[in-house]
Structure 1
């Protein structure tokens, strides 16, 4: 097998080692690097044949699978912006994104028809050559993110204007520094929808490293463990709610699968309760790599397993190329240990919200960007997050962070999921309310949960109201949707 460790990314790896496994799809079908490159080249030619030029936009309303991978890599070598669209959205929501991004071509999956869209990549590829297109240049993915309020915004970065291979060495070096991921014979498990930034980026990273993608049909705890065991998965990207659900499996089910092949499991997208992360590392070993950032800021902070075990709860220090500050309400820099707004500055390039310079400007303080979280730094520069600014509860003039209460409640075996919100109160400003999804079996009583919180968090943080719900709303990437929880609660 050829040594691909020094080759600059997917396109060169596929030429050097065409028989290498590239994708194991949701149905188990295997596509080699050579076969994938041939289809990618055909689709690149097909896009150009329809008149698309550098800087134009293509959108994909596609479930995870081979077509989604092809569109990502095809647009990535002919200087196009690619917009992955959440195919669970309503027709109206999809239409808004397609209009806002000015998509010249839309590719959709057969299970989610979109008016005017091509169905899959076959039409683009038909009759086109399998050779590389002339004048190749790097494209970029433009993800749409809704943040906390308002319509989704397209996060657009300047195209580099170079061939795709020119950007790979920096990416490879960065991933090695942050996640210890290296080129070679890795097996990457895709567990989350690729229309979100982190799963999409890790899919692309894996191919540039020469790894094999194993695409899970959906997230199902035992099913994920079975794929890890069957394909000897070495790395994956997950979100904390996945860990929580896997820990809820019976012990005999967990023991049935061999997870010893795992080397790097990267998690992001939401705060991970300390107890949950410790339990996963007790089970899988010290393989959890965490990073914190956003679609706009990319990977701004990162922490490796042993550093986290020495400082449980941290999301790490600034990633290479980043600086960080904690600022108060008037923009003053806060001392070590004092919570404030987190600001980051990247030396790796900036972004703009498409068609919205006002929102771009509002998110910045000079060169510094605010992801929207409250946190503090310790004396060694490790960041600890408190909560989202929009989720902060102020009760009796005191700041209360819902994530802290949720993490404590999730340590109770009778709690499967929980959302803590602030409800307007004339006397206190806000009252703390906990909405609990109980684990299977007899649910705990509110009093039992309050007693559980007693030694864990201060009494003023305890919920005044605890109610039970069959299920709590989460986004497809596993983030708790406190906005929907709050709206549903108040509507009652």
Structure 2
């Protein structure tokens, strides 16, 4: 069975109308209430002609036949309403990074050409600064009131007032499983790209592990809904911002399977106390986070006391390094929990996993592959067999995206046909081990070519962060007269720690070949990461290069 998100949600809401759907601050919205709000938004969009205009079968992989709805929002019920309301109107929602400055925001909005933008009032000044310069201005602005108190932008509608004035009846649309799910990449190593998925395919590639057994084999939508509603209701907490794919996937898994999605009271930053309070108050069972940058402060807060965490069953982590030592720390504090390291991308869904429990020592970097995951040879001409020693490209076939919005060249390069299969190759390097597991080495765009050797930044980060004095680290390359490029580690140390460079290198040398060790270590108070915890390699590279320039200026 192939599912459309809007139809599946409507079916679940009809089958379990009084079940809690979304809990956020003082709001406790049932499935009936959320379904009504989704319908009101869909009908509002439709009243402005925001919907589908060309069927998928008529389009090329990089084309969209649907209108787009930009979600410029912090986490909360409005984000999920925006995704589902757009889907119900047969438009396609898209994520906007709320940390973007004006130039970045203008680029994204010009690239995606949304006909509607739903945004929190706090972002109104930045949005106002770019609206006049957009090639295609939006037809509808919906402003969500917040603590900022910012007035409505000219022509904008208040979100709640607009929904109240719209019909709560089911919209007169016939959603299709091939309607778009669109997610923009983070742009940490290049300009953001709009990845175009069929809604049915993202369910299979990114959400399958959260859905009941037999869900995709169901003979009808009604049968799939019955399976979802009959399965154990799960309370899930998407901790990273919903503007990032991994958080969207756990949130969608919650509302499309009859679960309850909860958010902490504080959503504009990571507030560990607020997170633990909502976990204990709402009985959260499943939470996802981003590597050590989320896990370490959460562990620190838990150790201060006042929380029990008894309801937690599974902690998913991905998007950044989650070191074995930090995972072991989580398991010491919460021995009943399983930790699932998940690797994937906007182009592949959840592709690799690694489970750690208190009964097994935590490991990092080696994963079990999901269905369709493979490693492709460096020349992109063949799929490597398990045990082949070649370092190749991590790929996935089967349920993968159509392509990148408006970009034929990148679509054809990222989704080539190899051995008769269309394969997504987003740029990660990997080895397929003889036992069938996959060793993930890191994104090729942050690979360092030093003295003719390829060194994977994430592999060096994994080796350094094991040291108990290292709180966080980003590894980059910078120009070198001797090596062409040299490895540099930008390190934030744990409070009260002050190891020498030699001590850090000696420890890492137990896990790395000598040529991979950093040629320099730069110490910083804190490492710059995105709100989702992803490493800011551009910042680290600039810092490393500036440090080199400063050193040269000191040489007479």
With the shorter chain as reference, the TM-score category is: 0.7 to 0.9
TM-superposed CA distance for 1:307, in Å, is 13
State the partner residue of 1:197.
245
- Secondary structure of 2:88's aligned partner: coil
1:357 corresponding residue in structure 2: 408
Structure 2 vs 1, CA of residues 331 and 446 (structure 1 numbering), >3 Å: closer, same or farther?
same
Q: 1:64 pairs with 75, 87, 92, which one?
A: 75
- Structure 2 match to 1:274: 324
Of the candidates 111, 117, 140, which is equivalent to residue 180 of structure 2? 140
User: 1:261/1:396 Cα in 2 relative to 1: closer, same or farther (>3 Å)?
Assistant: same
The match for 1:12 is 11
Q: In 2, are the aligned partners of 1:243 and 1:280 still within 8 Å (CA)?
A: no
- Partner SS state of residue 491, structure 1: helix
1:424 equivalent to 2:479? Answer yes
Number of residue-to-residue matches in the alignment: 476
Q: Paired residue for 2:38?
A: 40
Following superposition, the deviation at residue 89 of structure 1 comes to 0.9
Residue in 2 that maps onto 1:433: 488
Q: Which residue of 1 aligns with 2:192?
A: 152
1:232 counterpart residue number: 283
Q: Secondary structure at the match of 1:249?
A: helix
Give 1:147 deviation, angstroms. 4.5
Deviates more, 1:311-320 or 1:370-379: 311-320
1:5 is aligned to: none
Q: Give me the whole-angstrom Cα distance separating, in 1, the residues matched to 2:459 and 2:503.
A: 18
Aligned residue number for residue 89 of structure 1: 100
CA distance in 1, matches of 2:171, 2:515: 64
**Structure 1 residues 244 and 184, CA gap change in structure 2 (3 angstroms):** closer
Which position in structure 1 is the counterpart of 2:59? none
Structure 1 pair 177–381 and aligned structure 2 pair: CA distance change class (3 A): farther
CA RMSD of aligned residues (A): 3.0
Question: Are 1:184 and 2:232 matched, yes or no?
Answer: yes
Tell me if structure 2 keeps the 8 A contact 1:402–1:421. Answer: yes
Paired residue secondary structure (1:107)? strand
1:80 and 2:115 equivalent?
no
2:168 matched to 1:130? yes
Three-state SS of the structure 2 residue aligned to 1:280 is helix
What do the CA deviations read for 1:426-460 (whole angstroms, capped 9, x no partner)?
A: 22222222221122224323233234334343333
2:529 aligns with 474
**CA 1:170/1:435 → structure 2, altered by over 3 Å: closer, same or farther?**
closer
CA separation of 1:234/1:242 partners in 2, compared to 1, >3 Å: closer, same or farther?
A: farther
The alpha-carbon deviation at position 185 of structure 1 amounts to 2.2
Q: CA deviation at 1:265?
A: 1.8
Q: What residue in structure 2 maps to residue 415 of structure 1?
A: 470
Structure 1 Cα separation of the partners of residues 202 and 544 of structure 2: 47
- Residue deviations 1:221-270 (CA, integer Å, cap 9, x gap): 343223222221100121113454237617742x5421221122222223
Query: Which secondary structure does the structure 2 equivalent of 1:143 belong to?
Result: strand
- 5 Å matches for 1:253-332? 253=304, 256-285=306-335, 286-305=337-356, 309=360, 312-320=363-371, 322-329=372-379, 331=381
Flag the 1:337–1:228 CA change in 2: closer, same or farther, 3 A.
farther
1:9–1:130 CA distance, 2 compared to 1 (3 A) = same
How is 1:364-403 mapped onto 2 (pairs within 5 angstroms)?
364-366=415-417, 367-403=422-458
2:258 pairs with 1:210:
yes
Contact 1:107–1:119, Cα closer than 8 Å, also in 2: yes
CA contact (8 A) 2:396 2:424 kept: yes
Can you list the C-alpha shifts for 1:346-380, whole angstroms capped at 9, x where unaligned? 22243211111011112233222212111111112
* Whole-Å separation in 2 of the counterparts to 1:172 and 1:386: 24
TM-score relative to the length of structure 2: 0.78
* Preserved contact between residue 374 and residue 384 of structure 2 (Cα < 8 Å): no
**C-alpha deviation, 1:292, in angstroms:** 2.0
Which structure exhibits the higher relative contact order, with contacts defined as CA atoms closer than 8 Å and separated by 6 or more residues? 2
CA contact (8 A) 1:79 1:159 kept: no
Q: Which runs of 5+ in 2 are unaligned?
A: 1-6, 53-65, 132-140, 145-158, 216-226, 548-556
**Paired residues of 1:373 and 1:386 also in contact (CA < 8 A):** yes
User: Who is 2:122 aligned against?
Assistant: 111
Aligned to 2:58: none
CA distance in 1, matches of 2:101, 2:242: 18
Unaligned stretches of 5+ residues in structure 1: 1-7, 161-165
- Tell me the secondary structure at the aligned position of residue 151 of structure 1: coil
Q: Measure, in 2, the Cα distance between the counterparts of 1:288 and 1:298.
A: 19
**Distance verdict in 2 for CA 1:36–1:177, change over 3 Å:** closer
Aligned residue number for residue 175 of structure 1: 210
Query: Partner residue of 1:348?
Result: 399
TM-score of the pair, normalised by structure 1: 0.87
Shift of 1:219: 1.7
Does the CA-based 8 Å contact 2:463-2:511 persist in structure 1? Answer: yes
| Match of residue 249 from structure 1 | 300
Equivalent-residue separation in structure 2 for 1:485 and 1:427 (angstroms): 21
Deviates more, 1:143-152 or 1:413-422: 143-152
User: Residues 296 and 326 of structure 2 are in contact (CA less than 8 Å); yes or no, is this contact kept in structure 1?
Assistant: no
